[in-house]
Amino acid sequence: MIRVIVLLVSYSMIDYRTQAPPILREFLTYHETIQGHSKKTVDEYFLDLRTFFRYIKVEKGCVPRTAVLDEISIDDVDLQLIKSVSLADIYAYLSFLSRDRLKNSKNPGAGYGLMASSRARKVATIRSFYKYLVTKAKLLDESPIQELDSPRMRQSLPRYLTLDESIQLLESIEGENAERDFCIVTLFLNCGIRISELVGLNLTDVRGDRLRVLGKGNKERVVYLNTACQNAIEDWLAVRSQSGAADPYALFITRKHTRITKAGVHYMLKQRFTAAGLDSSKYSAHKLRHTAATLMLQNGVDVRTLQEVLGHEHLNTTQIYTHVDSDALRDAAQSNPLGQVQAKPRRGRPPKQKEG
């Protein structure tokens, strides 16, 4: 069995430009400069590939099996080693991830075996790397993992607030920073923006009834503001304009006049959920995004429009919300014109009588 000791490394210490071998560095640079992926995304790609090739070096006998996996250097990873990887090697790696890899590097007591979603992301990274070598770098004729399926994931329905709970949350916001917090919650519930998108908003992003949002992969989109959002922004700006902000561009600032952070928003929401009588352990900024999506679908917004509003790259990401509204599903079943057709009664058995 491969020996695993996890070393805690902060993201600030990760720099693929100096830590990755040339062939990996070219792939990562391509994603950052050409594909426009964020630094955090590219760092995740690097970490995924680093763990993978550390494992491969052990399996191929490049280092002793007694080596500590997270201390193995990948400086010598080259095309020859990359070409030697087979589909069987990938399956063995996935088995290692599901059985022997720590679930949480920050909490060794959490046990072993990564979730299917984590393994699927790592498969996607490896697949993307080999696809790059085949289609862009032209260093391989074919990918050894083109037939590999991603781990099957259990589809869970998103948790969300009901309409009454959403109103309850909004109506409970009062006291210090009330205008700011009400505006933030209103944007989450009406626009479905991500927390990273919200904290990145600048004053210049508000343009009348439109909000310029910078989403994942630095993709820009326009979100239209309804009356509630416009009024909430106007009320907040009336207060904010009196605060000499250290960041003159930030739309949302703290009491110290600095741009609000994701941690600050999470803390604020936890307090506001509790004050509204809602379980703060069950809800978060992302759950408010789920709420916005669900309420829009329940009130007639089609799924493709919702895809644009939420900034989803793929429609199947948005379609999870179509499974939430059980009332709509029940109505759809009842509206089927064949819903009233019944089997002919068998001999000796009286026909069923309609209720009511």
How far from 270 is each of 103, 120, 197, 220, 264, CA to CA, in Å? Answer: 26, 31, 19, 29, 10
Q: Is 154 a catalytic residue?
A: no
What DSSP character marks residue 202? B
For this structure, is 194 an active site residue?
yes
Report CA 8 to chain centroid distance, whole Å.
23
C-alpha distance across the termini of the chain, in Å:
67
Catalytic residue among 57, 119, 289, 290: 289
The angle at the Cα of 78, spanning 74 to 84, to the nearest 5 degrees, equals: 105
**Is 330 annotated as catalytic?**
no
Question: Which token pair is 21?
Answer: 């071998």
Q: What is the DSSP string of 233-284?
A: HHHHHHHHTTS--SSTTBSSB-TTSSBPPHHHHHHHHHHHHHHTT--TTT--
CA torsion 156-157-158-164 (nearest 10°) is: -150
Active site residue 312: yes
Beta strand segments in the chain, E: 206-207, 210-214, 220-224
Q: In what order do the strands lie in the sheet with 210-214?
A: 206-207, 210-214, 220-224
The angle that helices 285-298 and 303-310 make with each other, rounded to 10 degrees, is: 150
Set 55, 93, 160, 321: catalytic member: 321
Residue 68 in contact with residue 5, Cβ under 8 Å?
yes
Give me the catalytic one of 37, 101, 194, 240: 194
Question: Catalytic one among 25, 127, 266, 286?
Answer: 286
Please state, as a whole number, how many other Cβ atoms lie within 10 Å of the Cβ of residue 297.
Answer: 19
**256 in catalytic set:** no
Structure tokens at 244: 């000499």
Catalytic residue selected from 103, 127, 216, 266: 216
Asked about 321 being catalytic, the answer comes back as yes
Contact between 244 and 257 under an 8 Å Cβ cutoff? The reply is yes
| C-alpha span between 287 and 297 (Å, rounded) | 15
Identify the CA nearest to 75 among candidates 57, 92, 61: 57
Catalytic residue annotation: 194, 216, 286, 289, 312, 321
